Amino acid sequence: MQIIRLHLALACLTAALLAMPAWGEVYLTPEKFLADSFAGVAPPPRIVWITGALAEQAKAVLGHKAGALRLRYWEKDGRSAWILDEIGKTEAITAGFVIEDQKIARVAVLEFRESRGGEVRHPFFTDQFIGLSLREDNRLSEPVDGVSGATLSVRAVENMARLALVLAQHVAANESPAS
């Protein structure tokens, strides 16, 4: 009888754990980020394929292979928006980047799933990226101050910022005049 109760308790605990939502907090939906980035109306999404030299450059920026073969982005009047994911310590961080004139115009952490390091969502951190560009060595043009206790989250946001700049450069260099 004891064993049956124990199995029943374990089954209930397992069901409860499986029903719990994953750790994470949504600060801004992608739709709201895009609407805010394009004066209320986001343009239709476009796709960039992460292959060949671009895949190698993305790997160099991230320190690992890009997690997707293709990425959606939004572009209008020389302004592009990118919604990217990168692992902090163990979980993905989703952030949006707006690139204009090959410089970062806006950064917003949309969703943070880590148990620590959520300070990277605050303007005191994200505002440091505004106006930064990409150097020839794929580094940011200026250093970004870290956040105590959030080293991996800071690194993830920096890597996403660098990737957004690389992708925007690639798209700008490969756009046809009719686009």
For residue range 160-175, list pLDDT tens digits in order.
999 999 999 999 998 7
Question: Any residues with CB less than 8 A from the CB of 103 and at least 6 apart, and which?
Answer: 131, 132, 133
Identify which of 178, 174, 179, 177 has the alpha carbon closest to the alpha carbon of residue 51. 174
The Cβ-side half-sphere exposure at 172, using a 13 Å CA radius, reads: 17
Contact 106, 123 (CB under 8 A): no
Note the pTM of the prediction, 2 decimals. Answer: 0.84
Q: For residue 169, count other CB atoms closer than 10 A to its CB.
A: 17
For range 84-98, the mean pLDDT: 95
For residue range 95-112, list pLDDT tens digits in order.
999 999 999 999 999 999
Question: Any residues with CB less than 8 A from the CB of 167 and at least 6 apart, and which?
Answer: 48, 54, 58, 71, 73, 80, 82
